[in-house]
Amino acid sequence: MTGFLLFLAGTTLLALALRVLDYLTGSTIDRTPWAGRCFRVGCRCLGLRIRHHGVQPAQNTLIVSNHVSWCDIPILGAFAPARFLSKAEVGQWPLIGWLARQAGTLFIQRGSGQARRVRTGIEEALKRGESVTIFPEGTTSAGITVLPFHGLLLKAATAADVPVQPATIAYRRNGRPDHVAPFIGDDEFHHHLTTLLKQPSADVDVLFHQPVEIPETATAHEAAAELRATVHNGLERIYRGEMDQPSAPGDLRTEDAPGRSHLPSPPDAPQSQGQSTA
């Protein structure tokens, strides 16, 4: 906890310094590279043992991932620098919300009819050459399955003429799905953080699938179903142990693995509703 609090203090000072530089130079400094470095340090402070598989995004893209915990954001941000889409409530979290705004996070109020406006914001960011990460489930789950994807925001990639890169994230302890990392139910951020830090480190696998193009003729529902099938298949492969290979050296362990699967979409699983940071 001490290390994590020191990390937050250092990140806050960095964010303030960048604000001062913005004022002195009269221009806005790109926060994305700085955010990526901070995310990597944050993952170390959380004690997460992370391995990534597949090919990290090499160009600006719309990254879509399943959603298990608020930890998904620093984990994905450590490997794929991008702006994140988050629920409006995160912007109200003490200090964390302010840091998220400084990093360029896009916020959406669920159930407020803002989706089309947010899609326009995502499209504009993609056209500027930025990557954006979204969690189309719209909420967190226990991480055992992938909830149905909402497709409205996916068409922003088609409008911006950029690919979509599916990503699968899975948390395990002793080779089984982790029950500590999921941020679900009525848990509060500080309670979940304390519980997470009290437990032994979790193993996290991040599988980047091959980028795909969404045809203009595809409906949002069709695109969402195909992407969910890819992410779900990746989750099954991780839990079957297909990704358990010797890791490469480094603070955050990395390795390559096969890319996108073409297996048919699995049937919709019962929705285990949780909390959402996106």
How far does CA 240 lie from the centroid of its chain? 22
- Asked if residue 9 belongs to a domain, the reply is no
Indicate the Cα dihedral angle 264, 134, 32, 128, nearest 10°: 90
Residue 34 lies in a domain: no
Residue 52, phi then psi, degrees to nearest 5: -115, 150
Per-residue pLDDT tens for 5-52? 898 899 999 999 999 998 898 888 888 888 889 999 999 999 899 999
Q: What is the mean pLDDT of residues 180-208?
A: 89
DSSP secondary structure string for all residues of 204-229: EEEEEPPPB---TTS-HHHHHHHHHH
In a domain, 26, yes or no: no
Please indicate, yes or no, if residue 70 is contained in any of the structural domains. yes
Domain carrying residue 97: 47-240
Task: Tell me the two tokens of residue 178.
Answer: 């982790």
Output the CA–CA distances (angstroms, integers) from residue 128 to 7, 27, 29, 121, 177, in the order listed. 30, 16, 14, 11, 38
Please count the structural domains in the chain. 1
pLDDT of residue 113: 66
Decide if 63 is inside a domain. Answer: yes
Report if residue 270 sits inside a domain. Answer: no
Cβ(174)–Cβ(124) below 8 Å: no
Residue 117 within a domain: yes
232 within domain boundaries:
yes
| Global confidence as pTM | 0.82
Q: Please say whether the dihedral angle defined by the alpha carbons of residues 168, 178, 239 and 186, taken in this order, is positive or negative.
A: negative
pLDDT tens by residue, 236-277 = 999 999 888 665 444 444 333 333 333 334 344 444 445 555
- What value does the mean pLDDT take over residues 59-79? 93
What mean pLDDT is predicted for residues 132-136? Answer: 94
